[in-house]
A and B are shown apart, each in its own frame.
Chain A
Amino acid sequence: MVDLALKILLHDKLRFTITVAGVAFAVALVLSQVGLFFGLLSNATLTIRHANADLWVTSHNTPNVDFAHQFPETYVNRVRSVPGVARAGNLIVTFMNITLPNGAEEGGVFYALEDFGAWNLPWTVKEGDIQDLRRGEFIFLDESAKRRLGDFATGDYREVQHNRLRIAGVSQEAKSFTTTPVSFIDFRRAQEMNPDLLKGNTSYILVKLAPGADAAAVKAELHRRLPFNDVYTSNEWATKSEAYWIKNTGIGLNAFLAVFLGVLVGVVVVAQTLYTSTMEHIKEFGTVKAIGGSNADIYRILARQATIAAVLGFLLGLGLAFAQKPAVEAMNLKLIMPASTISVVAVGTLLLCLASAMVSFRKVANVDPGLVFRS
């Protein structure tokens, strides 16, 4: 087959480059903005996804994992007596101020447990032994906190709520949506440091189900026994925390606008360049008809041009998006581009390019083959 569609595209290399660049720009914009959105959002639920808990008991209407409310710690005993619960433990999540060596204060979100090992928190320990936290005057800080707290090392002392605590170790990857550093401290120590708020209280109860237990049934029973609390599976709880940030910050709107702009730019560039190309080659399309081509033949040419632009533009855009990754990560942000997102963008690119070609097709379908007799 003679590929007239491709030959026409390549005949004007500059315009072809512009078309492909337009698609690539749009694809890169959409992928990086959506990737950034997923990256930011993933920080909102890191602790939920890594904690070794099947169910989370929260106080009623807690909006997200960072903004915890308290309830009596003794509720954990009611949870433990529910059939199907293998084990349950209290978790305090609370904000406390950390004093920096220069005298400034930074907020930190502290996760306080009795047995960190049992709940896989923190999930990556870089230095130190997490069990040391039980001995009292110790904290674990996350490596990512160095951006906010300055450099620190195991063995250093830091002042938290005016208590001098020793850094027993350093974790990795423990971030929160608000970029407030996540730190770890013993459950009792946390209660002592803020007795007004925390004495006799907890923020959450983490629940591990017995093998084979029915999560829905356990959830229902927990709800019956703790009518003034909410109970979520860890997935539900992660979704709720994410939804809170999407709704209450601009990131959802921002991602949506970026996608919208990307689509707009892509469609306009492709429609416009294909259209001017088609108009410039209108006599050739007339010739195609005069020598026996049908409207289907014409559409095949336009569709093929759109597909070529879409495929090349998409691949280039994908490459650009991945090329940005190191720079974005250097800024302590994440680009998360799952295969599902990439596939949706790929299919979307193709469909939008084909739709853009329709603009030209309407013109060419009506082209008068008598054109070829005129000079």
Chain B
Amino acid sequence: MAVLEARDITKTYQEGVQETTVLRGVSMDLHAGEVVTLEGPSGSGKTTLLQILGCILSPSGGDLRIQQKPVEGRSSHLAAVRRRNIGFVFQQFNLFPSLNALENVQYALNLKGLKGPAAKQEARALLDAVGLLDRAGYLPRDLSGGQKQRVAIARALACKPAVLLADEPTANLDSAVGAQILELFRDLAKRENRALLVVTHDPKVRSIADRVLQIHDGRLRP
């Protein structure tokens, strides 16, 4: 079942009088339990597409449906869809430096509406799933890069979003650690039947993919 359907997505950035067309009609689906990688050279529009699929950016044209429901461009609507359906993992980890590992996950649960002791318990379960329960009280600055990314994965899994999106999640990690992290991420997504899209320009990442998409100059290669 397609949890995410994108049809003819276009995106043109407008900066003053200058227009840059980054996406030129991208159509793709993501299915529950599927792991897809998106490859492409620098500047080809990968991050832009990911932001549109993740309801952070609205497209200039085309249709996006998540869980069979059309996504509109209003920012409050985007935020609500994002909160309910999307889990993000970033290249820079983007953990909150003043919160410890457990609190980072717990805070995401709080934002998504799970509060109180239940949130704390769920956060512990998520940290346990990424193998970091013994580091629950550590601040991000005391965690290694791989550990940070595990916390970020636990955070992305908060409240079981249907779609997991990762932008170059291993680019800041050495390759052995990166491979471990990717496998962990894939296993968790599979176990929970989530759709996972990983953006990368590293072909090695393919090893985890059920399907590989390639983007070039704003278009997907057939």
Does the CB pair B94–A292 fall under 8 Å? no
Given contacts A2-B106, A8-B98, A369-B56, contact A292 B111 (CB under 8 A): yes
Count A/B pairs, Cβ under 8 Å. Answer: 78
User: Interface size bucket, B side?
Assistant: 35 or more
- A292: which of B82, B99, B106, B119 is its contact (CB, 8 Å)? B82
- In the complex, which residues of chain A have a beta carbon less than 8 angstroms from the beta carbon of B110? 1-2
- In the complex, which residues of chain A have a beta carbon less than 8 angstroms from the beta carbon of B94? 283-284, 286-287, 290, 372
The yes or no answer to B14 lying at the interface (CB within 8 A) is no
The yes or no answer to B88 lying at the interface (CB within 8 A) is yes
Cα(A2)–Cα(B106), bound, Å: 7
Does the CB pair B76–A294 fall under 8 Å? yes
Does the CB pair A11–B56 fall under 8 Å? no
- In the complex, which residues of chain A have a beta carbon less than 8 angstroms from the beta carbon of B76? 294
For window 130-170 of B, CB contacts with A under 8 Å fall at 155-156, 158, 167
Cα(A283)–Cα(B84), bound, Å: 22
Cα(A52)–Cα(B108), bound, Å: 68
Query: What 1/0 mask marks residues of chain A from 1 to 43 whose CB sits below 8 Å from any chain B CB?
Result: 1101001101100000000000000000000000000000000
Cα(A279)–Cα(B140), bound, Å: 20
- In the complex, which residues of chain B have a beta carbon less than 8 angstroms from the beta carbon of A291? 87-88, 108, 111, 155-156, 158
Does the CB pair B79–A287 fall under 8 Å? no
- In the complex, which residues of chain B have a beta carbon less than 8 angstroms from the beta carbon of A288? 111
Query: What 1/0 mask marks residues of chain B from 94 to 111 whose CB sits below 8 Å from any chain A CB?
Result: 101111000100111011
User: Interface size bucket, A side?
Assistant: 20 to 34
Cα(A373)–Cα(B53), bound, Å: 14
Does the CB pair A10–B82 fall under 8 Å? no
Q: How far in angstroms is the closest Cβ of chain B from A128? A: 69
Query: What 1/0 mask marks residues of chain A from 241 to 265 whose CB sits below 8 Å from any chain B CB?
Result: 0000000000000000000000000
Q: How far in angstroms is the closest Cβ of chain A from B143? A: 16
Does the CB pair A292–B107 fall under 8 Å? no
Cα(A287)–Cα(B152), bound, Å: 11
- In the complex, which residues of chain B have a beta carbon less than 8 angstroms from the beta carbon of A158? none
Query: What 1/0 mask marks residues of chain A from 282 to 301 whose CB sits below 8 Å from any chain B CB?
Result: 01101111111111010000
Q: How far in angstroms is the closest Cβ of chain B from A200? A: 82
- In the complex, which residues of chain B have a beta carbon less than 8 angstroms from the beta carbon of A61? none
Residue from A1, A4, A292, A372 whose CB has the most chain B CB atoms within 10 Å: A292
Cα(A284)–Cα(B107), bound, Å: 12
The yes or no answer to B185 lying at the interface (CB within 8 A) is no
Does the CB pair B51–A373 fall under 8 Å? yes
Does the CB pair B107–A2 fall under 8 Å? yes
- In the complex, which residues of chain B have a beta carbon less than 8 angstroms from the beta carbon of A370? 51, 56-57
- In the complex, which residues of chain B have a beta carbon less than 8 angstroms from the beta carbon of A369? 56
- In the complex, which residues of chain A have a beta carbon less than 8 angstroms from the beta carbon of B50? 373
- In the complex, which residues of chain A have a beta carbon less than 8 angstroms from the beta carbon of B88? 290-291, 372
Closest residue on chain B to residue A372 by CB atoms: B94
The yes or no answer to B91 lying at the interface (CB within 8 A) is yes
The yes or no answer to B44 lying at the interface (CB within 8 A) is no
Query: What 1/0 mask marks residues of chain A from 337 to 375 whose CB sits below 8 Å from any chain B CB?
Result: 000000000000000000000000000000001101101
Cα(A167)–Cα(B3), bound, Å: 100
Does the CB pair A297–B57 fall under 8 Å? no
Does the CB pair B111–A293 fall under 8 Å? yes
Cα(A47)–Cα(B72), bound, Å: 74
Does the CB pair A294–B79 fall under 8 Å? yes
Given contacts A2-B106, A372-B92, A375-B91, contact A292 B98 (CB under 8 A): no
Cα(A375)–Cα(B83), bound, Å: 23
The yes or no answer to B112 lying at the interface (CB within 8 A) is yes
Q: How far in angstroms is the closest Cβ of chain A from B28? A: 19
Q: How far in angstroms is the closest Cβ of chain B from A77? A: 79
- In the complex, which residues of chain A have a beta carbon less than 8 angstroms from the beta carbon of B106? 2
Q: How far in angstroms is the closest Cβ of chain B from A88? A: 71
Q: How far in angstroms is the closest Cβ of chain A from B211? A: 23
> Can you list 15 A-B pairs, Cβ within 8 angstroms, ordered by A?
A2-B107, A4-B107, A7-B98, A284-B94, A286-B94, A292-B82, A292-B83, A292-B84, A293-B79, A294-B76, A294-B80, A370-B51, A372-B94, A373-B50, A375-B91
The 10 closest A-B pairs by CB, nearest first: A292-B83, A7-B98, A11-B98, A2-B107, A287-B94, A2-B103, A369-B56, A293-B111, A2-B106, A292-B111
Extra contacts besides A2-B107, A369-B56 (14): CB < 8 Å: A2-B106, A10-B98, A284-B96, A286-B94, A287-B96, A291-B87, A291-B111, A292-B112, A294-B80, A370-B51, A372-B88, A372-B92, A372-B94, A375-B92
Interface set of A (CB-CB < 8 Å, partner B): 1-2, 4, 7-8, 10-11, 283-284, 286-295, 297, 369-370, 372-373, 375
